[in-house]
Amino acid sequence: MLQFAKWKTTLVALVVAAGIVFVLPNFFSRASLENWPGWIPNQQINLGLDLQGGSHLLLEVDVDTVISDRLESLESEVRRTLRSKRINYTGIGIEELAVRVRLTNPEQRDEAVEALRDLSQPITTNAFLNVGAQDLEVSVDESGIARLLLTDEAIAERRRAAVEQSIEIVRRRIDETGTREPSIQRQGEDRILVQLPGVDDPDRIKRLLGQTARLTFQMVDVDARPGGRVPPGSVSLPSDARASSQQTEYIVRREILISGENLINASTTFDQQSGGPAVSFRFDASGGRRFGQATTDNVGRPFAIVLDGKVISAPVIRQPILGGSGIITGGFTVQEANDLALLLRAGALPAPLNILEERSVGPGLGADSVAAGELASVIAFVAVMVFMVLAYGLFGMIANVALIVNMILIGGGLSLLQATLTLPGIAGVVLTIGMAVDANVLIFERIREEVRTGKTPVAAIDAGYSRALTTIIDANVTTLIAAILLFQFGSGPVKGFAVTLAFGIASSMFTAITLTRLIVITWMRRRRPAALPI
């Protein structure tokens, strides 16, 4: 009756010891932990963004833009190809996922189809599975309308590549800001989850991520007057809000002399003439050559520096720029110049990013929440322990030992698994303090009942534990089911709540069934009481 298998005793001791070892680092400063020998666990509980402060951003890659970009560039390629082959055409345009063009001369159809097929590009991935897969299907119908349709594989591949590249660019941009331990993960098809602990200016990050940062150099169309008719081959672009110029609109040649892809470096500098902040840049070898050529050909004419479709500045080329480097001036503040340099270094996003969700908590509120949570835990802890002693006396004290061990196990478990503790998670811990005694209450009430039926102390305890066991398991499994669903469907902080709740249930079951029983049995064997003080 009063047996407790050796191996069980060892197991309980080991679990409790492990709990203590893993929870211990939380009571030391991070700095002192680094000096601990490597074999001692030194992981602390991860605080969620709502407790340590920081930003949670859910971004969506606007993948449709990538497809429409590809179609637009395809349209101009088709135009160029047909023109260079002197094939007659009319009515070129984009319809859904295809470029459509009417070939007017039936005799040129075959030649045209062949030329258009050459525009197709191989799909790079899945090269092993799908050798020679092309991104276009070219067809021509009876009436001479040719269609260049993007294949499903090509679309899927472009979307995939766009999301992957976006993640890479987002990572580079965030790394450039010097944020500590950012977490950047893909979520679902086209979403990116960015978590930035301890960021104090989330707005800056959002601004940085909100720009595609596509930089191009284009000639200003000096023949056209802003506000007037825009000649074919040119486009009217608005002036960037930061630009110092009074001009609000520029007519710019569509042809792109050179783009930001060829940049290898960019940094903040100061304009020697105005003294204001500026961004200096340097092209790679081929970019430098093209830039040199373009500036040589266009001395005396203005060219536009265009960022995301807005003209930052349009300086006149005074002399050929052959060194492959230059500066961009605008009415920048130092911060704006820094940010632009950062964006240029990190590269352009393949598609715009939309912010779907943002949750930013300042470090002050996080610290307040931790303090409030700690205070609430301590109060709840003391109140419940006092109550248990009042209700069950000695047995209440035993339950309190179990409660303390419970907290150690929850803390140790969270540290070991590096689960994240959130504010609702703290609520889960406090709730667990209240509910954890339930298993012991069930057992003690049962023992009381058995004592009332006239059982001896030993028999009462034995019956109490064995009869309460099913109830404890049934009752806790239901709460566990709720916790699992919470984890599955909850987001962020709510997940943290589910984790601590589940930990609390598991450890309260463990301590009630094994630890308090071990203590009770040990006590019984030593004292052999005639009556139970319960």
Partner 1 sequence: MAWKLRLVPEKTAIPFMRLRNLAFAFSGALAVLSIVLLFSLGLNFGIDFRGGTLIQVKTPGTADIATMRDAVGGLGLGDLSLQTFGSDDEVLIRVERQVGDAAEQLTAVETIKDALASSIGGDLDYRRVEFVGPQVSSELVIDGTLALGLALIAMLIYIWFRFEWQFSVGAVLALVHDVVLTFGFFAITGLEFNLSIVAAILTIIGYSMNDTVVVYDRVRENLRKFKKMELRQLIDVSVNDTLSRTTLTSFTTLLALIALAVVGGPVIAGFVVAMIWGVVIGTYSSIFVAAPVLLYLGVRRESFDKESAEGDGEASPA
Between residue 399 and residue 428, which ones bind partner 1 under the rule CB under 8 A? 423-424, 426-427
Shortest Å, Cβ 369 to partner 1: 6
If one asks whether residue 478 binds partner 1 (CB under 8 A), the answer comes out as yes
Q: Which of 217, 172, 339 is nearest to 267 (CA)?
A: 339
Between residue 85 and residue 124, which ones bind partner 1 under the rule CB under 8 A? none
Beta strands (DSSP E) in 242-367 are 249-253, 258-259, 263-270, 277-283, 303-307, 310-313, 325-329, 353-361
Shortest Å, Cβ 366 to partner 1: 9
Q: Which is nearer to partner 1, 222 or 481 (CB)?
A: 481
Binder to partner 1 among 224, 362, 416, 524 (CB under 8 A)? 362
If one asks whether residue 198 binds partner 1 (CB under 8 A), the answer comes out as no
CA distance 137 to 141: 13
**Under 8 Å between Cβ of 211 and 222:** no
Phi, psi of 400 (to 5 degrees): -70, -35
If one asks whether residue 533 binds partner 1 (CB under 8 A), the answer comes out as yes
Residue count at the site for partner 1 (CB under 8 A)?
Answer: 84
**Under 8 Å between Cβ of 145 and 53:** no
- Sorted by sequence, the CB contacts under 8 Å of residue 102 that are 6+ apart come out as 89, 90, 91, 92, 143, 144, 145, 146
Angle between helices 394-417 and 6-23 in degrees, nearest 10:
60
- ∠ CA 30-36-40, nearest 5°, is 110
Binder to partner 1 among 160, 172, 242, 467 (CB under 8 A)? 467
Binder to partner 1 among 163, 257, 433, 509 (CB under 8 A)? 433
Q: Which is nearer to partner 1, 2 or 481 (CB)?
A: 481
Between residue 178 and residue 197, which ones bind partner 1 under the rule CB under 8 A? none
Q: Characterize 399-427 residue by residue with b for buried, 16 or more Cβ atoms within 10 angstroms of its Cβ, and e for exposed.
A: bbebbebbbbbbbbbbbbeebbbbbbbbb
**Under 8 Å between Cβ of 353 and 209:** yes
Shortest Å, Cβ 427 to partner 1: 5
At 441, which helix (H) or strand (E)? helix 423-452
Shortest Å, Cβ 40 to partner 1: 33
Q: Which is nearer to partner 1, 63 or 138 (CB)?
A: 63
Binder to partner 1 among 23, 486, 499, 512 (CB under 8 A)? 486
At 111, list the tokens.
Answer: 């030649």
Binder to partner 1 among 123, 150, 442, 499 (CB under 8 A)? 442
If one asks whether residue 333 binds partner 1 (CB under 8 A), the answer comes out as no
Shortest Å, Cβ 9 to partner 1: 24
Q: Are strands 420-421 and 46-47 parallel, antiparallel or unpaired?
A: parallel
Build a one-symbol-per-residue string for 370-399: x at contacts with partner 1 by CB under 8 A, - elsewhere: --xx-xxx-xx--xx--xx-xxxx------
CA distance 353 to 210: 6
Shortest Å, Cβ 522 to partner 1: 21
Build a one-symbol-per-residue string for 30-69: x at contacts with partner 1 by CB under 8 A, - elsewhere: --------------------x-------x-x---------
Q: Which is nearer to partner 1, 18 or 473 (CB)?
A: 473
**Under 8 Å between Cβ of 373 and 500:** no
Shortest Å, Cβ 138 to partner 1: 35
CA distance 439 to 461: 14
If one asks whether residue 162 binds partner 1 (CB under 8 A), the answer comes out as no
- Sorted by sequence, the CB contacts under 8 Å of residue 228 that are 6+ apart come out as none
At 147, list the tokens.
Answer: 């269609």
Stretch in the footprint of partner 1 (CB under 8 A) among 81-89, 164-172, 440-448, 516-524: 440-448
Shortest Å, Cβ 527 to partner 1: 15
If one asks whether residue 490 binds partner 1 (CB under 8 A), the answer comes out as yes
Angle between helices 152-176 and 63-84 in degrees, nearest 10:
120
Residue 373, amino acid? G
Q: Which is nearer to partner 1, 13 or 371 (CB)?
A: 371
Phi, psi of 328 (to 5 degrees): -110, 125
Shortest Å, Cβ 358 to partner 1: 4
Shortest Å, Cβ 298 to partner 1: 34
Stretch in the footprint of partner 1 (CB under 8 A) among 96-104, 109-117, 328-336, 468-476: 468-476
Binder to partner 1 among 18, 230, 473, 506 (CB under 8 A)? 473
Binder to partner 1 among 68, 130, 139, 466 (CB under 8 A)? 466
CA distance 186 to 463: 54
End-to-end Cα separation, the chain, in angstroms: 19
409: left (phi over 0), alpha (psi -120 to 50) or beta: alpha
If one asks whether residue 358 binds partner 1 (CB under 8 A), the answer comes out as yes
Binder to partner 1 among 202, 287, 288, 412 (CB under 8 A)? 202
Shortest Å, Cβ 91 to partner 1: 33
If one asks whether residue 457 binds partner 1 (CB under 8 A), the answer comes out as no
If one asks whether residue 470 binds partner 1 (CB under 8 A), the answer comes out as yes
In the DSSP assignment, the letter for residue 245 is: S
Between residue 512 and residue 531, which ones bind partner 1 under the rule CB under 8 A? 531
Between residue 282 and residue 321, which ones bind partner 1 under the rule CB under 8 A? none
